[in-house]
């Protein structure tokens, strides 16, 4: 399943946000990819996420395939929606 | 077909040897081919090093207890995530397996590539994360070594190939005489590594951009340090040509030895003393062989930075005393510690802008114990050997520093029984400030020595180790000439002026110094013969004329051409060599 999400936290997918994202993606069996423009990366890799260099306002697409894809998508969306807990 | 690459000729000479690739960020990494039977072992070694690194960071996490605890732990977690990253591990293991290279190199290569990817990222916050990648690489590398102490063995006829090489490492690798060539991607003419390479007589070419990625370990390479050219994969015909070239260079060297016997006298009998700059005390033999009439500057930094701790009074005494071994010279000049700038090493504290920081005399005055130990060692040599030593003070930029330094010297001198004539004090004129104060400085000291390297750097405000500024930081800049003119016009009559920077060994500049009335030129010993040869064909009148003409010119190129026109016929066979 796919979903488009806008990065809305102030600092974008920087080190701390990437760390949080990786900690979540690694809890799932499904294959999780994130793409930005033509670049697609493995969302279970901190390096992959950092190399996206997704700053605030960037539109990314999350693509999950596997048994637990729905729950994974839910958790990931929540994380983005919470702005990685940094703006609260 | 052979492959040829050109860079900046740093140190002359012609040599053939086998490439040893070293990579130096902070730790030096060697690229090594491994046998297919060693792959599994190498991969295990890498994985254990990662585990050890992870455990180290985890332990660190437990010990954090400060007001930034949460932030610090987050940073450490980020580092652990890098270590746990599957993609990273897979890429590294793949490189080890497929290319059969050692783990250290594979790690270095992958992380270097990753950091290049991030370098394009404009977001500053992201860019700053780059540092973490370097630290991680450092940590794993250290642990790889901890598991398998594998120090680099230097074989005979080695050509060092590196992205960059620090002066200390250059010295470390080259000291046993097995290295006969150095090639680096970065670096420029006046870097300290360049100075070291020249002082050791090792053919060296720098600013070769990507040479460290082109050459394979063990590759047979021809290094032409005269022209800054490198060749490899040569065929039979080319090999024969290169052998002829080598012979030509050898006969050129023979001529140089003939010239080395000359005196430093102009056509109209003006005498200039031609001396050598040295980095290591044992260089006195080479200096004498090339015709040096004295040691115009012994830079003492390497004595200090070669070891973990500064040398003791006795160690320094033995080192300085050895300058008089074999009675090659009656007088030597010792420059007091000029630590700082690009010579700074990790054990000294880091400054944002070391070239403008606590260096030279500033460091010595701020660390009086270090300064006094050095002065004691120098004065003890004068007392015991009854020989003349000139003390040269670096980086003086104001009269208070000068006053304090002279007072300290006198104070130390009081405890020795020395004929005062055996000691003289000089100042390196290397800051624009010192140029402006030249009159007052000369009133307090016995001689001045113009340190052109730093004077140029500070006049033009351009970092001399930044190879992209190589064109700007030319000693042919009109502003550099104006500096020389200022000195010429403002020194009290009869002042003993020496030139001790790289500019002294550029034959083109020789007429400028003759015109200035300098009494001494001190240079890398290998340049002495050609300078002696050319000086014999110059007259004061010609030199004064050309100095004035050059002052009218507005670009470095025009000035260089003007000077070269006067010189080119004096060195007919070898032109610009």
Judged by CB atoms closer than 8 Å, whether chains meet at B78 and A53 is answered as no
CA distance B515 to B548: 9
The residue behind tokens 């590539």 is: B113
Cβ-defined contact of A15 to B75 (cutoff 8 Å): yes
Residues B108 and B141: beta-carbon distance below 8 Å: yes
Closest residue in A to B89 (Cα–Cα)? A45
Q: In this structure, are B164 and B124 located in the same domain?
A: no
Beta-bridge partner residues of A42: A33
Compute, in degrees rounded to 10, the torsion defined by CA atoms A37, A38, A39, A41. 90
Interface of B with A (CB under 8 A): 74-75, 77-78, 81-82, 85-88, 114, 117-118, 121, 123, 125-126, 129, 132
Q: Does a structural domain hold residue B573?
A: no
Q: How far is A42 from chain B (nearest CA, A)?
A: 8
Q: Tokens 């039977």 identify what position?
A: B37
Which has the minimum average pLDDT: B193-207, B319-333, B388-402, B466-480? B193-207
Q: Which residue among the candidates B163, B174, B192, B509 is catalytic per the annotation?
A: B192
Structure tokens at B73: 């732990």
Token reading at B210: 């990507």
Nearest CA in chain A to B90: A45
The pLDDT confidence band at residue B128, using thresholds 50, 70 and 90, is low
B342 has pLDDT over 70 = no
B550 classed as catalytic:
no
- Picking from A14, A42, A48, the nearest residue to B125 by CB comes out as A14
> Percent of chain B beyond pLDDT 70?
88
CA-wise closest residue to B19 among B3, B1, B8: B3
Contact check, Cβ <8 Å, A19/B78: yes
The Cα B332–Cα B325 span in angstroms is 12
Per-residue pLDDT tens over the stretch B320-336: 999 998 899 999 999 99
Of B133, B113, B145, B111, the closest CA to residue B30 belongs to: B145
Which pLDDT score, from 0 to 100, does residue A14 have? 78
CATH number at residue B142: 1.10.274.10
Q: Is B442 helix (H, G, I), strand (E, B) or coil?
A: helix
Residues B513-525: pLDDT tens digits?
999 999 999 998 8
Pair (B414, B553) in one structural domain: yes
> Does A22 sit within 8 Å of B77, measured CB to CB?
no
In the set A8, A11, A12, A14, the catalytic residue is: A14
Q: Which of B106-120, B141-155, B193-207, B282-296 has the highest mean pLDDT?
A: B282-296
The CATH number assigned to the domain holding B197 equals 3.50.30.10
Q: Say how far apart CA B186 and CA B215 lie, in whole Å.
A: 15
Q: What is the mean pLDDT of chain A?
A: 87
CB-CB: which of B77, B87, B123 is closest to A47? B87
Other Cβ atoms within 10 Å of B505 Cβ, number: 21
Express each pLDDT in B280-311 by its tens digit. 887 888 899 889 999 999 999 878 876 657 88
Same domain, B168 and B309: no
pLDDT band at A17 (very low <50, low <70, confident <90, very high): confident
Strands A2-6 and A59-65: antiparallel
Q: Which residues contact A32 (CB under 8 A, 6 or more apart)?
A: A25, A42, A43, A44, A62, A63, A64, A72, A76
DSSP annotation of B417: -
Identify the CATH number of the domain in which residue B489 sits.
3.20.20.60
Q: B123: distance to nearest CA of chain A, Å?
A: 8
Mean pLDDT along residues B373-402: 97
For residue B75, give the chain A residue with the closest CA: A16
Quote the domain boundaries for residue B90: 33-147
Residues in chain A: 88
Q: Name the β-bridge partners of B232.
A: B3, B221
The residues near B159 (Cβ < 8 Å, ≥ 6 apart) are: B15, B17, B18, B19, B20, B179, B180, B181, B182, B183, B221, B223
Dihedral in degrees, nearest 10, Cα atoms B176, B178, B180, B185: -80
Nearest CA in chain B to A20: B78
Domains of chain A, residue spans: 2-85
Indicate whether B272 and B356 sit together in one domain.
Answer: yes
Question: Quick check: ipTM above 0.90?
Answer: no
Please check whether residues B457 and B314 belong to one and the same domain: yes
Task: Using the 3D structure, point to which of B251, B275, B295 is the last residue of a domain.
Answer: B251
Shared domain check, B273 and B223:
no
Nearest neighbour of B87 by CB, restricted to A23, A48, A55: A48
Domain endpoint, select from B216, B251, B286: B251
Tell me the nearest-neighbour CA distance from B361 into chain A, angstroms: 43
Q: Would residue B529 count as lying in a domain?
A: yes
| Residue B170 and residue B141 in one domain | no
Kindly state whether residue B45 falls inside one of the protein's structural domains. yes
How close is the nearest chain A Cα to the Cα of B126, in Å?
Answer: 6
Cβ atoms of B294 and B353 closer than 8 Å: no
CA within 13 Å, CB half, A66: 15
Looking at the structure, do residues B343 and B419 belong to the same domain, yes or no?
yes
Contact B81 A22 (CB under 8 A): yes
- Beta-carbon separation of B118 and A51 below 8 A: yes
Contact list, A11 vs chain B (CB under 8 Å) = 125
Residues B393 and B128: their CA atoms lie apart, in Å, by 39
Q: For chain B, how are helix, strand and coil distributed in percent, rounded to 5?
A: 55, 15, 30
Name the residue facing A47 among B88, B125, B126 (closest C-beta).
B88
> Within this chain, do residues B23 and B64 fall inside the same structural domain, yes or no?
no
If you measure CA to CA, which chain B residue comes closest to A53?
B121
- Cβ–Cβ below 8 Å for A12 and B123: yes
B129 within domain boundaries: yes
* Neighboring chain B residues of A25 at a CB cutoff of 8 Å: none
Structurally, chain B folds into a number of domains equal to 3
Contact A15 B129 (CB under 8 A): yes
CA A70 to chain B, closest CA, distance in angstroms equals: 24
CB A46 to CB B117 under 8 A?
Answer: no
Q: What angle do CA B536, B540, B544 make, to 5 degrees?
A: 130
Among residues B147, B230, B145, which one has the least CA distance to residue B182? B230
Query: Does residue B557 lie within any of the structural domains?
Result: yes
In whole angstroms, give the CA distance from residue B296 to residue B293. 9
Least confident stretch, B99-108, B396-405, B562-571: B562-571
Cβ pair B391, B361 in contact under 8 A: no
Q: Is residue B577 part of a domain?
A: no
Indicate yes or no: CB of B118 within 8 angstroms of CB of A22: no
Judge contact between B449 and B390, C-beta under 8 A.
no
Asked whether residue B576 is assigned to any structural domain, the reply reads: no
> Does residue B151 register a pLDDT over 60?
no
Q: Are residues B218 and B71 in the same domain?
A: no
Residue B295 dihedral angles phi and psi, to the nearest 5°: -105, 110
- Distances B448 to B298, B426, B434, B492 between C-alpha atoms, Å: 15, 5, 10, 11
Based on the fold, state whether residues B293 and B222 are members of the same structural domain.
no
In a domain, B256, yes or no: no
Q: What is the CA radius of gyration of chain A?
A: 12
The most confident of B119-123, B308-312, B404-408, by mean pLDDT: B404-408
Under 8 Å CB pairs connecting chains A and B tally to: 52
> What are the pLDDT digits (tens) for B4-49?
999 998 888 899 999 998 865 456 678 888 998 889 999 998 998 8
* CA separation for the pair B215, B17 (Å, rounded): 12
Range in A54-63, B118-127, B553-562 with the lowest mean pLDDT = B118-127
Structure tokens at B21: 């690739």
* Cβ contact, residue pair A45, B88, below 8 Å: yes
Residues of A with CB under 8 A from a CB of B: 11-12, 14-16, 18-19, 22-23, 42, 44-48, 50-51, 53, 55
Of B78, B85, B114, the CB nearest to A15: B78
Separation in Å, CA B223 to CA A24, B15, B217, B231: 55, 5, 15, 7
For B87, name the nearest residue in chain A, comparing CA atoms only. A45
* Cα–Cα distance measured from residue B337 to residue B342, given in angstroms and rounded to the nearest whole number: 14
B353 and B441 together in one domain: yes
* pLDDT surpasses 70 at B240: yes
Give residue B575's pLDDT: 41
Domain boundary at B251, B278, B301, which?
Answer: B251
- Check if CATH label 3.30.1340.10 holds for domain A2-85: yes
Pairwise CB contact (< 8 Å): A15 & B82: no
Looking at chain B, how many residues does it have?
Answer: 577
């Amino acid at each position: 399943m796919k979903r488009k999400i806008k990065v809305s936290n102030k600092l974008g997918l920087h080190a701390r946000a990437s760390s949080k994202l990786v900690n979540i993606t690694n809890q799932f069996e499904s294959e999780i990819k994130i793409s930005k423009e033509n670049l697609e990366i493995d969302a279970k890799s901190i390096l992959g996420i950092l190399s996206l260099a997704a700053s605030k306002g960037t539109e990314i697409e999350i693509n999950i395939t596997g048994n637990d894809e729905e729950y994974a998508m839910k958790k990931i969306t929540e994380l983005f929606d919470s702005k990685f807990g940094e703006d609260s | 077909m052979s492959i040829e690459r050109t860079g900046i000729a740093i140190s002359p000479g012609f040599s053939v040897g086998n490439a040893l690739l070293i990579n130096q960020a902070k730790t030096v990494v060697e690229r090594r081919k491994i046998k297919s039977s060693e792959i599994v072992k190498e991969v295990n070694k890498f994985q254990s090093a990662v585990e050890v690194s992870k455990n180290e960071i985890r332990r660190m996490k437990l010990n954090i207890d400060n007001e930034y605890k949460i932030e610090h732990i987050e940073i450490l977690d980020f580092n652990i995530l890098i270590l746990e990253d599957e993609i990273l591990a897979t890429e590294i293991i793949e490189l080890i397996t497929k290319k059969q290279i050692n783990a250290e190199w594979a790690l270095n290569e992958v992380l270097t590539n990753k950091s290049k990817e991030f370098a394009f990222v404009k977001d500053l916050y992201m860019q700053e994360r780059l540092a973490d990648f370097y630290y991680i690489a450092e940590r794993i590398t250290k642990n790889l070594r901890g598991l398998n102490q594998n120090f680099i063995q230097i074989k005979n006829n080695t050509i060092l190939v590196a992205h960059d090489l620090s002066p200390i490492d250059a010295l470390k690798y080259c000291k046993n005489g097995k290295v006969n060539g150095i090639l680096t991607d970065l670096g420029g003419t006046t870097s300290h590594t360049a100075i070291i390479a020249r002082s050791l007589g090792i053919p060296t070419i720098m600013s070769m951009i990507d040479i460290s990625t082109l050459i394979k370990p063990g590759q047979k390479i021809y290094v032409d340090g005269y022209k800054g050219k490198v060749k490899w994969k040569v065929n039979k015909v080319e090999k024969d040509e290169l052998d002829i070239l080598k012979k030509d260079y050898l006969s050129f060297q023979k001529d140089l030895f003939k010239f080395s016997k000359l005196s430093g006298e102009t056509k109209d009998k003006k005498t200039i003393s031609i001396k050598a700059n040295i980095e290591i005390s044992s260089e006195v033999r080479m200096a004498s062989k090339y015709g040096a009439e004295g040691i115009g500057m012994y830079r003492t930094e390497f004595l200090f930075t070669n070891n973990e701790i500064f040398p003791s009074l006795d160690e320094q005494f033995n080192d300085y005393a050895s300058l008089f071994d074999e009675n090659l010279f009656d007088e030597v000049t010792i420059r007091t510690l000029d630590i700082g700038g690009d010579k700074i090493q990790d054990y000294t504290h880091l400054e944002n802008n070391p070239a403008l920081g606590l260096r030279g005399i500033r460091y010595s005055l701020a660390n009086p114990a270090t300064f006094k130990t050095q002065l004691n060692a120098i004065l003890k040599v004068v007392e015991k050997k009854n020989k003349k030593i000139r003390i040269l003070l670096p980086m003086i930029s104001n009269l208070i520093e000068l006053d304090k330094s002279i007072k300290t010297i006198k104070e130390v001198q009081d405890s020795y029984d020395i004929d005062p004539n055996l000691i003289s004090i000089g100042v390196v004129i290397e800051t624009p400030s010192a140029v402006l104060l030249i009159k007052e400085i000369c009133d307090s000291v016995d001689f001045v020595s113009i340190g052109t390297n730093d004077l140029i750097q500070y006049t033009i405000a351009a970092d001399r180790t930044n190879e992209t500024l190589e064109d700007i930081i030319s000693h042919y800049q009109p502003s550099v000439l104006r500096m020389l003119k200022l000195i010429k016009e403002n020194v009290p009559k009869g002042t003993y002026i020496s030139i001790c920077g790289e500019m002294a060994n550029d034959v083109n500049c020789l007429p400028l110094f003759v015109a200035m009335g300098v009494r001494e030129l001190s240079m890398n010993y290998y340049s002495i013969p050609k300078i002696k040869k050319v000086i014999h064909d110059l007259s004061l009148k010609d030199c004064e004329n050309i100095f004035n003409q050059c002052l009218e010119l507005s670009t470095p190129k025009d000035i260089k051409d003007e000077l070269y026109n006067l010189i080119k016929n004096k060195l007919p066979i070898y032109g610009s060599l």
